[in-house]
Amino acid sequence: MQFNWDINEEKKNIIRFGAGIFGSALNPYSMLNNMLFDGSRIAGVDITDPTLIPKPNFAGYRKDPDTAPGRELLDNPKIEKLVTINTNSKDVKVPTVYKANISINHFFTPSLRIGLSAYGTWGRNNYMYVDRNMVEDPYFRLTAEGNRGVYVPASSINTTNGAANWTNSRKTKQIGRVLEMNSEGKNNSYTVVLDGTYRYYKDGQITMSYTWNDTKDNTSYNGNVANSATLSLMVKDDPRDLSTMTYSDNQFRHKVVFYGTMPSLWGVSMGLRFSGIAGTRYSLAVNGNVNGDFVNSNDLAFVYDPNNKNTPDYIKTGIQAILDDPNAEQSIKKYINGNLDRIAERNGGINGFYGVFDLHLAKNLKVYKKHGIEASIDIFNVANLLKKTWGVGHNLGKQNLYAIKSFDAANQQYVYNMSSGVGVSNLNGNPYQVQLGLRYAF
């Protein structure tokens, strides 16, 4: 429901406000998941012993596909046979979104408008998949890492390389993962937009907007492949625990957009656009399967305090090296210092501002009556054309603070290698591009 109010019907002050409730259709991919992965159609194998891995002969497989490894692996008692099942929770619901908005636009003159808008969005009953064949409680906890739970027996972890076999986290060995789709996902998003338009002379115009945004959720999964739900959610230990709301994978804090066009002169027009964004998020992680679940890339890192006497010396040195590294982004130093002696907050890293300028030039030539030719040139990220260090982003993605090296069975604690280059941006964004255009109109 939306209401418009033109105060005093003067077309100078216009207020809009409204709210609505929106429902989603049931995710069709989930139905495909359930039909295909019903436990009777597809089976896989999990091989950790290198002596059991078949020697590949791809040329032979192409000549005779029947020679490709298959049923004999499933029939081998030394190889784990895994059947994945996808199903729906008994109380799964249709995702629901509640929205509210209010805006006011003031026209100072017919050619100058300023507007202020606010939006609230609350998503409930969002989809999420959790593994119901994973043991309910951890077998042991890492006391040095904030009592992080590990869902495989300590005796089953390879002491040489620290590898945890997720199949030991199952309730029953008869099947593999049982991915149940539930409706426990939720999202809260608040946005404020300040924007304005000024037509200053003939077809010359300036448009600007500033957006402030705050988006938190307990999972950023948005449908499709069931496995992706568990792969993308960064966790402390239990991947089924959705009780904590943190900043979303889709979070940004500030966005600025500017677009200006000059009045056409002798058939020549020019436009300049700037768009920039700040406050996107990233997490500190561990390269390896710390908690013993199916995923080896979604464990949040415990941030050891280099000033704590109980911190191993090699980690003290490694953490301090990141904090002292002039090439490391300031955002990761702030992230580390804000999470010392605890497991890093999901999406606790805050990227800085990144923006680009795009330039458009066009020339119109009249040929005959209504016939004409327009020649144009667009330069995207024009600042990068002028200087290659301009128009370059320094945003960070997920940062692996450590990599699992081995496992200390006596103390029930992982031994890590410090990752290299942590916090140093690989630089991102697109380099400048030039596009030429020619259009004939009649």
Q: pLDDT for 85-99, tens place per residue?
A: 999 899 889 899 999
Average pLDDT over residues 209-217: 98
Average pLDDT over residues 18-31: 84
Spatial distance between the Cα atoms of 377 and 268, rounded to a whole number of angstroms: 12
What pLDDT score does 410 carry?
95
What pLDDT score does 3 carry?
94
The helix-helix angle for 313-324 and 330-337 (nearest 10°) equals 140
Average pLDDT over residues 258-276: 94
Local confidence band at 244 (pLDDT 50, 70, 90 cut-offs): very high
The residue with greater pLDDT, 171 or 30, is 171
For 76, the 3-state DSSP assignment is coil
- Percent of the chain clearing pLDDT 90 (strictly above): 78
Local confidence band at 5 (pLDDT 50, 70, 90 cut-offs): very high
The residue with greater pLDDT, 124 or 367, is 124
What are the counts of helices (DSSP H) followed by strands (DSSP E) for the chain?
Answer: 7, 25
Q: What is the mean pLDDT of the chain?
A: 93
Q: pLDDT for 144-156, tens place per residue?
A: 999 999 999 999 9
> Looking at the predicted structure, is the pLDDT value of residue 223 above 80?
no
Local confidence band at 28 (pLDDT 50, 70, 90 cut-offs): confident
What pLDDT score does 306 carry?
95
What pLDDT score does 78 carry?
86
As given in the structure block, the two tokens for residue 427 are: 């630089």
- Percent of the chain clearing pLDDT 70 (strictly above): 100
Contact 102, 164 (CB under 8 A): no
Sign of the four-CA dihedral 63, 64, 65, 71? negative
Which residues lie across from 252 on neighbouring strands? none
What pLDDT score does 366 carry?
87
As given in the structure block, the two tokens for residue 177 are: 């993962």
> Looking at the predicted structure, is the pLDDT value of residue 224 above 80?
no
Closest CA to 406 of 76, 91, 160: 160
> Looking at the predicted structure, is the pLDDT value of residue 215 above 90?
yes
Which residues lie across from 337 on neighbouring strands? none
Contact 277, 355 (CB under 8 A): yes
Average pLDDT over residues 124-128: 93
Average pLDDT over residues 415-436: 94
Closest CA to 261 of 181, 191, 167, 362: 362
As given in the structure block, the two tokens for residue 211 are: 């957006």
Spatial distance between the Cα atoms of 153 and 139, rounded to a whole number of angstroms: 5
The residue with greater pLDDT, 75 or 209, is 209
Local confidence band at 376 (pLDDT 50, 70, 90 cut-offs): very high
> Looking at the predicted structure, is the pLDDT value of residue 34 above 80?
no
The residue with greater pLDDT, 197 or 24, is 197
The residue with greater pLDDT, 266 or 253, is 253
Which residues lie across from 371 on neighbouring strands? 368
What pLDDT score does 298 carry?
95
Exposed (0-12), middle (13-18) or buried (19+): which is 60, by Cβ within 10 Å? exposed
What pLDDT score does 368 carry?
84
What pLDDT score does 166 carry?
94
What pLDDT score does 388 carry?
92
Q: pLDDT for 51-71, tens place per residue?
A: 888 899 999 999 999 899 888
Q: In sequence order, what E strands does 83-111 have? A: 85-88, 96-109
What pLDDT score does 295 carry?
94
What pLDDT score does 71 carry?
81
Average pLDDT over residues 224-237: 90
